[in-house]
Amino acid sequence: MNKIEIALLGLGNVGTGVWEIFKNNKDEVTRRSGYEIEITKILVNDVDKDRGVNIPAGVLTTDIEEILNNDNIKIVVELLGGMHPAKDYMLRAIENSKHVVTANKQVMALEGKELLDKARKNGVLLYYEGSVAGGIPILKGIEESLTANKIEEIVGIINGTTNYILTKMSLENMDFKDALKEAQDKGYAEADPTSDVESYDAMYKLAILTSLSFGLDVDVENIYREGITKVSSLDIEYAKEFGYCIKLLAIAKEKNGTLELRVHPTMIPIAHPLANVNDSFNAILIKGNAVGDLMFYGRGAGSLPTGSAVVSDIISILRNDMTLRSISTVENKENSKQILKRDSYKSQYYLRISVKDMSGVLGEISTIWGKNKVSISSITQKGEKEGIVTLVIVTHDAIEGDIIKALDELEKLDSVYSLDNLIRVEKFE
């Protein structure tokens, strides 16, 4: 049996998952890869920190050079997260002819092209299954199993932390902060949870999915992004009254050569399969022109699920090493697609607005919607407090540019106290 040495960069949540999988599934990993794999070095900041795993003496190091300049180490597994120094270490590993596995969505979304080009030039592989949707084999699914298709649409719940928060707010009336704290304690959240709750994490993942599915390198600036921090218990309650729930959706749709890319809280019918994707689970719906609709469901975050994707990538590299026919050898050529501008999106919209409780207000508001070509599907008045009432308005399909213009005008009305939240409604018809 051939032996192979590998190194991990980082021994946090995912790193310890990877270590555990190598320990617990040693026989399977050996048989399926054809190699006896040994983790001989792990880069950490502090060798004395207790991480709840038993690492043999001499494996932990604080010196990256012990890894990058060690010719016996053939695969470097980057699990540091963040841009720096992760990207530089990956580049240097590739330059030193080492294969690289990473779970780093930020680096792959923002700098993936440079890294993949470099890997191709240096004849090594760069795999990154763990960067999107944790344990769900979505990248290999797209690149291998669905490669006969033109992908038309991807709609996904691809951030475990926000799904956990929205689930707890919706099913247990928990408040935002407590739910976030629980998600952090369970190891789902990023080091800085802003990346989760403001949807940067989901945006990076959508960029990676889009790049593989639609064959173009996506500039994340072209993805409309909105976080979940404005979603209140009131929105969740009113959504339920309409037969909807609120999920953070990442959406990529192609129509006539134009791509629509967006990540935002969305109201979806409670009968839709995505509405029942709860806690930290992720799910991705893909529409291919041959296969039709597919749904991938599973754990999108956490130590062992993400570790599962990472170890599988290591095994894939060892299987593919001889041929170099791999997902990282497929180069994007299709940069002719247009990206739809935000003001051209078409959707139904839910608006929660606080107004003065007096005669003529509804008339004023309706006039503004009408003037801006927005047709109202329903309008409901909620409880009065100190002369202010909440109006909940749901529109028919409208163009987002028209909605924005109407909101600008509404905001200027004396009778409007505040525009509280605007949420898109996806009916999946």
Please give the annotated binding residues for NADPH, written as ranges: 105
426 sits near ligand HSE (criterion: CB under 6 A): no
Q: Which two tokens stand for residue 281?
A: 């689970």
Stretch that binds ligand HSE, among 185-193, 256-264, 368-376, 416-424 (CB under 6 A): 185-193
Annotated binding site for NADP(+): 9-16
User: Which residue lies nearer to ligand HSE by CB, 85 or 187?
Assistant: 187
Which pair of structure tokens corresponds to residue 190?
């990023």
Determine the Cα–Cα distance for residues 96 and 108; give it in Å rounded to an integer.
19
Residue from 5, 129, 196, 198 in contact with ligand HSE (CB under 6 A): 196
How far is Cα 400 from Cα 373, in angstroms, rounded to an integer?
Answer: 11
Q: How far apart are CA 264 and CA 176, in angstroms?
A: 17
Per residue, the 3-state secondary structure of 61-118, as one string, reads ECCCHHHHCCCCEEEEEECCCCCCCHHHHHHHHHHCCCEEEECCHHHHHHHHHHHHHH
Rounded CA separation 229/169 (Å): 12
CB of 43 to ligand HSE, least distance (A): 20
Assess 134 for contact with ligand HSE (CB under 6 A).
Answer: yes
> Using CB under 6 A, which residues numbered 329 to 368 contact ligand HSE?
none
> Which of these segments, 170-178, 184-192, 287-295, 362-370, binds ligand HSE (CB under 6 A)?
184-192
Strands 258-269 vs 346-356: parallel, antiparallel or unpaired = unpaired
Q: Is 372 helix (H, G, I), strand (E, B) or coil?
A: coil
Query: Which one, 154 or 189, has the nearer CB to ligand HSE?
Result: 189
To ligand HSE, the closest distance from the beta carbon of 56 in angstroms equals: 29
Helix (H) / strand (E) containing 313: helix 303-320
Q: What is the rounded distance in angstroms from the CA atom of residue 303 to the CA atom of residue 52?
A: 13
Closer to ligand HSE by Cβ: residue 33 or 161:
161
Residue in 189, 263, 314, 403 binding ligand HSE, rule: CB under 6 A: 189
Site string for ligand HSE, 151-180 (x = CB under 6 A): --------xxx-------------------
351: Cα separation from own chain's centroid: 25
CA separation for the pair 345, 395 (Å, rounded): 14
Reported as type and span, the H/E element at residue 207 is helix 200-214
Nearer to ligand HSE, 189 or 340 (CB): 189
H or E, element range at 251: strand 244-255
Contact residue for ligand HSE among 301, 309, 392, 398 (CB under 6 A): 301
Closer residue to ligand HSE, CB minimum distance, 42 or 189: 189
Could you give the CA distance from residue 39 to residue 57 in angstroms, rounded to a whole number? 12
Helix and strand counts by DSSP (H, E) for the chain: 14, 18
List the one residue from 5, 78, 190, 400 that touches ligand HSE (CB under 6 A). Answer: 190
**In whole angstroms, how close is the CB of 138 to ligand HSE at the nearest point?**
12
- The tokens for 400 are 């987002």
Smallest distance, ligand HSE to C-beta of residue 6, A: 22
- Identify residues 197-216 at the interface with ligand HSE (CB under 6 A): 201
Q: Is 405 a catalytic residue?
A: no
Shortest CB 90 distance to ligand HSE, Å? 17
The torsion of the CA quartet 301, 120, 141, 195, rounded to 10 degrees, works out to 30
In the numeric block, the tokens 């040693």 are attached to: 26
Nearest distance from C-beta of residue 339 to ligand HSE, angstroms: 24
Determine contact, residues 37/4, Cβ cutoff 8 Å: yes
C-beta of 304 vs 368, nearer to ligand HSE: 304
Taken in order 237, 238, 239, 240, the sign of the CA dihedral is positive
Number of residues that bind ligand HSE (CB under 6 A): 11
CB of 341 to ligand HSE, least distance (A): 28
Contact between 300 and ligand HSE per CB under 6 A: yes
| Between 159 and 395, CB nearer to ligand HSE | 159
Which position among 41, 74, 168, 205 bears the catalytic label?
Answer: 205
Active-site residues, by number, are 205
Residues that bind ligand HSE (CB under 6 A): 134, 159-161, 188-190, 196, 201, 300-301
